[in-house]
Chains A and B, each alone.
Chain A
């Protein structure tokens, strides 16, 4: 798969993106220079805990950052345009029509007092100037394709008459209405039951294949990543700390933060107590000198507190920002924790990845 990606067409390219927020305490550096490419037809997962800057980065891509946000540096290239420089007056032609978004919380994402049908057809009628009947036909087709039974009847109902999973299907239908080529999923299953989660993920995979979508999938749930992703970016404190294919991230993780994330993921076989990551993420008004993860890192070295590690290339597709990969440190032979190693062996044997 790694080789395939190299030949593929890049649809979206983020270069050195920096996003700050003006807050009362000072300037919050939410995203501190991230770069990644999205290839056509792939699913790129962005993983990280709350406050790591993953949602902020996709909001920057969609041009829906809050008013107090500043894009300090970098570019987001899409179809020859730099999205960081597109004016708000014209951005709505890209949103929905070219890049769609699926929300975290389908319960609050739908307008409670507007009929479901109108919420799906609204942008078709406003932006594509479709006739009412024509838009309705498209909407019914979409509702059918996202698995809504009796779409004709459901078309005239209100959000409160739908269950959480059904609402998320509607949100997906709305995101697909503009026929986008990039679909961004911002933790689309966090607010749903586990059984419903699986169905929604299946649906996203299915429509991705049908429409040859390029998907950016934001989550903090590594189990979901294993099911969905071709490639993974691990983010911490506003930076990408490790990037690689799903196999590389799950089977050969290189960054201590990725180790910690994988160790804290529950599975059916581990009898030991799960490892939690000690401490909390740093205050991003005053990001620490050196590696931002150093203070929580059991493997931190002196240099981690002084200098920020660059990205060390491991393979053509795999890189991580940790001094452990520096030739001098690598000589010491620090390896991932034994428990995690055993767990990865189990995952390899059971074929946990289907991505």
Chain B
């Protein structure tokens, strides 16, 4: 098989090829490493490419297979967002603050991938500490959207989404705090799944906002997302917030269909600010689900409009504590020139954090301050409960909710960099489900101006199976989208 064809494979197709002996994991890994070498200077999806390690893992996987072993991901090359700790491999969150940090421990999610036999190609670019919606807040370099290199890939998992979209890996891990898997998946044209809060262990996921952070996957299709989720999900004694809920066999019964499935459509997701062509694509997708047997039902989520302000109080508040530990004493950036400890700490933080990270630390510190706590943090938590209640009420009448993932297709790099609130608004569709801790995903549902558009599906807690079945039903109904030429493929 030609190298480029190998790179385009889904996880399942690649696994089939490995099992049939059509190619080896080393062939597959080398093809992807070559493609990264050829393309990534233009895309910027990777911060670290672990070529030697990847080839060694591939070789080990091939040997295991030759010895008659198999595993759900044996020999399959993946990319990992640089927010997940990887033992012995630099982990920086795309921040100057963590320059040179090599963790002595794997994130539980990474350990589970390793145990399943996966090959790690490298660590992907992101907005610094996962704070951003365009990946322009990477302290290292921006990521470019593979469909149009002048456009942003979305964020904060922009590197992972771009790597999947540009066939620089078969699939990738990301993290989603307010939409950081789904929004870049929509903007880059891949599937992005954020499971229920607590479904995947957060141990080793470098914290941005602990009550919202959740590991997600970016894949080329829905069955691949189910396959990865099945490997990653489950209780972890090292994460007290990981759920003790049985893990169903997600890949099994994926093609069950949507006969009789009640799909909720809320007017709050189709209001002002939604690009009309995006709306058209999303409504066509919902119609396609109906044609496949689902039933459309109107629902109301009246507190949706508060999600943005609520999120921008809670997430920065938690971040202000989570990021306090970066003071230059124990790991990462330090400043040996400083004459005393206070000077060292303030210089390290002044130089080590980017402007968006500083903005959020300031916002959060303010919101938690004595005298402001009740008005900001406490109030935001109360409204968060109302948002959660909206969904609970809606899910009494419907099985799943359908909405756009992002209000518009990918925007120009630099377009929103000077207007933080405009940038924050690109997450307006994804924030409510994050605040409610619900499983949700984005799946490509069309192109507008030659750029991908995403359909977002949201399910009740731990109903990932239903979510994936519905998404798969849509994926089959949709068929292969008539896609324009990716700019990244044009030399």
Do these two chains really belong together in a complex? no
Task: Give me the interface of B with A, judged by CB distance under 8 Å.
Answer: none
Task: Give me the interface of A with B, judged by CB distance under 8 Å.
Answer: none
